[in-house]
Amino acid sequence: MKPDAKIYVAGHQGLVGGAIWRRLQAAGFKNLVGRSLPELDLRAQAAVADFFGRERPEYVFLAAARVGGIRANATFPADFIYDNLMIQANIIHQAYRHDVKKLMFLGSSCIYPRLCPQPMKEDYLLDGKLEPTNEPYAVAKIAGIKMCQSYNRQYGACFISVMPTNLYGPGDNFDLLDSHVIPALIRKFHQGKITGAPEVPVWGTGAPRREFLYVDDLADACFFLMERYQEGEIINIGVGQDIQVLELARAVAAVIGFKGQIKLDPAYPDGAPRKLLDVSRLTSLGWQAKTPLPEGLHKTYDWFCRSPWARKS
Ligand code: GFB
């Protein structure tokens, strides 16, 4: 990408899009385009066509999506499949129609089968049944991958798909019910600390294992791959290490200074037993995550304390 290239970051106010925007700015790109939801509803076909016609971006990062944690996915399956299918179909199709030079589609590690071998290689896509708590979201993301590959094959487009592992960091959603595990735990332990609660609930059995990538590392990997990766094959982005949910809860409690008990609540679902990505394709290209989990948790907690979320606690 040339320094004056026009780059559209779809979802630039979200966790991922915001981090990609910061990374591009740090690299000196000034011709960045973003639209908030009130300015442009990406589910609306005509509005997206009109936007591409006016702006004519040369590069697109497709980081706009409806996202949420295990409970949000299980509670709003229609929203997760509809919004994501519409957003990505509109953007991918208009990127083709308006000769976008390169597009990056951001997927998710939940595209892989629930019980596939660990760590999960890119080749395991569509090898088995998906995790039921997020199947509609995963199906939408798989459709996005297949759209990119189909436009490459039929029209010679350059649309690449990257699969990030579970993410966290500044700008995350800290809603107690609909967020992912790290922001939920940060807010719960913070509340527990300031109210002096004797215990804080942690959903599920605490046994599942997850891999967590700091969002600025993800943005760095996306920038790296946008410059260097041209293949139609998907590529995983992760750290190559995972942690049990109970261990994670202890680590978050330690960062925050919560001294009470952790109370597991098995009435809530565990979701997939383990999600660890095989990142050898990415490391062989020369990229590696930089932020260890404790450092990322500290940075995220600092951000949380300065955000309006802390005042809601
Ligand atoms: O982060 P999370 O919602 O995502 O949950 P998934 C991860 C694990 O943490 C699950 C447990 O085993 C949860 O039961 N957990 C413990 C909690 N306490 C909490 C809590 O207070 N809040 C939350 N949210 N979890 C999502 C998918 O699955 O991961 C999405 O539903 C997406 O589609 C995303 O792929 C990355 O890893 O289970």
Q: What is the CATH number of the domain that holds 233?
A: 3.40.50.720
Q: Is residue 306 part of a domain?
A: no
| pLDDT tens readout for residues 58-86 | 999 999 999 999 999 999 999 999 999 99
Q: So what's the pLDDT on residue 9?
A: 98
Give DSSP secondary structure letters for 91-148.
Answer: HHHHHHHTT-SEEEEE--GGGS-TT--SSBPGGGTTSSPPPGGGHHHHHHHHHHHHHH
| pLDDT tens readout for residues 118-153 | 999 999 999 999 999 999 999 999 999 999 999 999
Q: Is residue 114 part of a domain?
A: yes
Q: Is residue 204 part of a domain?
A: no
User: Both tokens of residue 106?
Assistant: 């951001």
> Is 80 exceeded by the pLDDT of residue 313?
no
Q: Is residue 40 part of a domain?
A: yes
Q: So what's the pLDDT on residue 205?
A: 98
Residue with tokens 């804080």: 200
User: Both tokens of residue 281?
Assistant: 């394709």
Among 70, 84, 133, which is best to mutate for testing ligand 1, by the most ligand atoms less than 8 A from CB? 70
Mean pLDDT of 217-236: 97
Q: Is residue 311 part of a domain?
A: no
> Is 80 exceeded by the pLDDT of residue 305?
yes
Q: Is 137 an annotated catalytic residue? A: yes
Question: Percent of the chain having pLDDT more than 90?
Answer: 99
Q: So what's the pLDDT on residue 311?
A: 87
Q: Does the global pTM surpass 0.95?
A: yes
Span from the CA of 184 to the centroid of ligand 1 (angstroms): 9
- Determine which one of 59, 137, 151, 214 is catalytic: 137
Q: Is residue 180 part of a domain?
A: no
Span from the CA of 107 to the centroid of ligand 1 (angstroms): 16
Residue 87 CB partners (closer than 8 Å, separation 6+): 10, 42, 43, 64, 65, 66
Q: Which residues pair with 60 in a beta bridge?
A: 8, 103
Q: Is residue 55 part of a domain?
A: yes
Q: Is residue 299 part of a domain?
A: no
**Residue nearest atom 22 of ligand 1, based on CA coordinates:** 181
Among 64, 75, 70, CA closest to 107 = 64
Mean pLDDT of 30-37: 97
Query: Mean pLDDT in the chain?
Result: 97
Burial class (CB in 10 A: 0-12, 13-18, 19+), 82: middle
Distance of alpha carbon 178 from alpha carbon 155, whole angstroms: 39
Mean pLDDT of 17-33: 98
Domains identified in the chain, total number:
1
Span from the CA of 245 to the centroid of ligand 1 (angstroms): 9
> Is 70 exceeded by the pLDDT of residue 248?
yes
Range of the domain at 30: 7-168+212-240+276-291
